Structure 1
Amino acid sequence: MTQGVRGVVAVDGPAGTGKSTVTRRLATALGARYLDTGAMYRAATLAVLRAGVDPDDAGKVLAVVEATRMLVGTDPLGPTIELADPDPADLERTEDVAAEIRGPEVTLAVSPVSAVPAVRELIVAQQQQIIADVVAAGGRIVAEGRDIGTTVAPAADLKIYLTASAEARAQRRVDQDVRAGRTASVEAVMADVRRRDTYDSTRKTSPLRKAEDAIEVDTTELDIDGVVARLVELAEQAGLSAVPERTGP
């Protein structure tokens, strides 16, 4: 859907590599929109949990996701994810779920929900439409997730695959939880990181893997500024030059 158009950057990698933080900053540096595809799967998972559906019941999960309306904001300085009221008579009522989708309940359930092939097909189509709309309007977009370079935007101008050691990723997730007011132990988060790695890399539809033409960036020994600098450098090498920094939405 984006083939032949300049302005799409795909950033993939496993949980805890710092994708969300650095890709938002990369998008800001490039004057681009930002798409957090993982947030879409988390929002769908939240809808499943609220419906009282077992995340392992693929048929019921799909039914819930098909009935779910989500609104995705793509400003890198303030990305949003909202669930809209499914009642056709109240299309304007929405709920900001950005904080709730990062909770432990959603984190535990998101892998089985996102592994349902029909769910992935549905949400991938939504992601591709968001990217196409931005590009059609003459804009740029940085999309991050686990299957962007291989499935969502295989013709992206630049594909980056972020990696880091499991230990570093677990510690980053703990630090993230602490900043958000959530409690977590390194051991518990490490177990969850490994569990999600297994789920994401072995699912039948759109498994986590590095695209053949993606550039791998190991972030284990890099701080956020170092990773961002490297990504901006790669973008400029791909012909996507940075723009003056924005100071507001």
Structure 2
Amino acid sequence: MSDTPAQTAPFVVVIDGPSGSGKSSVSRAVADRLGLAYLDTGAMYRALTWWCLDQGVDLEDTDAVTAAAESMPLRMGTDPTDPRVDVGGTDVTAAIRETGISSVVSAVARHLPTRAVLIAAQRECIERCSRPGIVAEGRDLTTVVAPDADVRLLITASEDARLARRARELHGGDGEDAIAATRDQVVRRDRDDSAVASFLEPTDGVRLLDTSELDFETTIAAVLELVERARAGVVDGHGERARSHARE
């Protein structure tokens, strides 16, 4: 037997939620304050969408999109203060947030074989994170990607709150016109994505945090409290004790 000490697995926090719930900004802030890595799994689907469009791949062709996912030269930055996304040497961090990508990313995300490829990549990113732990956020992390994570959290908010937040983010305000321009991105995408991912209702062992009436700092504080309780091994409201992971 090797006398090399067993490597302790990273402390894993996974956060799911619908568009505009605040999960991305909260996840980055929590990771930054705890000195953990950060992974935006939704950006992986966006990057694949960008890659398919760049390569002329038909987004409705499951086999072609899956093949593109398998060959995509993707590099995901995990620094929560600067999570860059690179595809084949091109920095696409800003490009994948443009409306042209947002409006069609669900067409890519609904291919189940494609999801299997990206889920495997997400698990590898979590497993190999270079920091003591990682905060990963997206759509089906708590149920599919990392169901044994130390902390599993679903962040949600009312539709009105989510629309207003996304309108301010995209259009600089939450007036009637801005809300109307944002509605399709938020409501339609959540409807489309919910057909292949669970992120609207918490499953057993997943904590629910409704941020409709919470400000940013209060939401961060609530997540940090859950993390500290898990690290301390405190039994949560579901009667489950947080577990530390260790590789054999």
* TM-score bucket of the superposed structures, by smaller chain: 0.7 to 0.9
Q: Secondary structure at the match of 1:159?
A: strand
Residue 73 of structure 1 corresponds to 77
- Counterparts of 2:16 and 2:162 in 1: how far apart (Å)? 14
Q: What letter matches 1:24 in structure 2?
A: R
Q: 1:11-41, CA deviations, whole angstroms, 9 ceiling, x for partnerless residues?
A: 0011111111110010112211000000111
Q: What letter matches 1:110 in structure 2?
A: V
- Counterparts of 1:6 and 1:65 in 2: how far apart (Å)? 26
Q: Secondary structure at the match of 1:202?
A: coil
* Structure 1 runs, 4 residues or longer, greater than 4 Å off: none
| 8 Å CA contact retained: 1:83, 1:95 | yes
> 1:138, CA displacement in angstroms?
6.3
| 8 Å CA contact retained: 1:114, 1:120 | yes
Are residue 186 (structure 1) and residue 179 (structure 2) matched? Answer: yes
- Counterparts of 1:175 and 1:54 in 2: how far apart (Å)? 32
- Counterparts of 1:171 and 1:222 in 2: how far apart (Å)? 14
Q: 1:64-107, CA deviations, whole angstroms, 9 ceiling, x for partnerless residues?
A: 222211001101111111001xxxxxxxxx11101000011110
- Counterparts of 2:203 and 2:224 in 1: how far apart (Å)? 19
Work out which of the residue numbers 140, 147, 150 in structure 1 matches 2:133: 140
| 8 Å CA contact retained: 2:37, 2:131 | no
What is the TM-score normalised by the length of structure 2?
A: 0.84
| 8 Å CA contact retained: 2:84, 2:93 | yes
> 1:5, CA displacement in angstroms?
4.4
| 8 Å CA contact retained: 2:28, 2:38 | yes
Work out which of the residue numbers 9, 30, 34 in structure 1 matches 2:34: 30
1:62-101 residue pairs with structure 2 within 5 A? Answer: 62-84=66-88, 94-101=89-96
1:210-221 residue pairs with structure 2 within 5 A? Answer: 210-221=202-213
Q: Secondary structure at the match of 2:38?
A: strand
Are residue 164 (structure 1) and residue 157 (structure 2) matched? Answer: yes
1:107-118 residue pairs with structure 2 within 5 A? Answer: 107-118=102-113
Q: Secondary structure at the match of 2:104?
A: helix
Are residue 226 (structure 1) and residue 226 (structure 2) matched? Answer: no
Residue 87 of structure 1 corresponds to none
Bigger CA drift: 15-24 or 191-200?
191-200
> 1:226, CA displacement in angstroms?
1.2
| 8 Å CA contact retained: 1:7, 1:139 | yes
CA RMSD between the two structures: 1.9
- Counterparts of 2:232 and 2:79 in 1: how far apart (Å)? 18
> 1:240, CA displacement in angstroms?
6.5
Work out which of the residue numbers 208, 220, 245 in structure 1 matches 2:199: 208
| 8 Å CA contact retained: 1:167, 1:190 | no
- Counterparts of 2:131 and 2:182 in 1: how far apart (Å)? 41
What is the TM-score normalised by the length of structure 1?
A: 0.83
Structure 1: gaps (5+ residues): 85-93, 242-249
> 1:6, CA displacement in angstroms?
5.7
When residues 55 and 138 of structure 1 are mapped into structure 2, their CA distance, relative to the original with a 3 A threshold, is closer
> 1:192, CA displacement in angstroms?
2.3
> 1:52, CA displacement in angstroms?
2.5
> 1:221, CA displacement in angstroms?
0.9
> 1:60, CA displacement in angstroms?
2.0
How many residues matched? 221
Q: Secondary structure at the match of 1:212?
A: coil
> 1:117, CA displacement in angstroms?
0.9
Q: Secondary structure at the match of 1:188?
A: helix
| 8 Å CA contact retained: 2:31, 2:37 | yes
Are residue 49 (structure 1) and residue 53 (structure 2) matched? Answer: yes
| 8 Å CA contact retained: 1:166, 1:190 | no
Q: Secondary structure at the match of 2:152?
A: strand
Q: Secondary structure at the match of 1:190?
A: helix
| 8 Å CA contact retained: 1:22, 1:228 | yes
Residue 244 of structure 1 corresponds to none
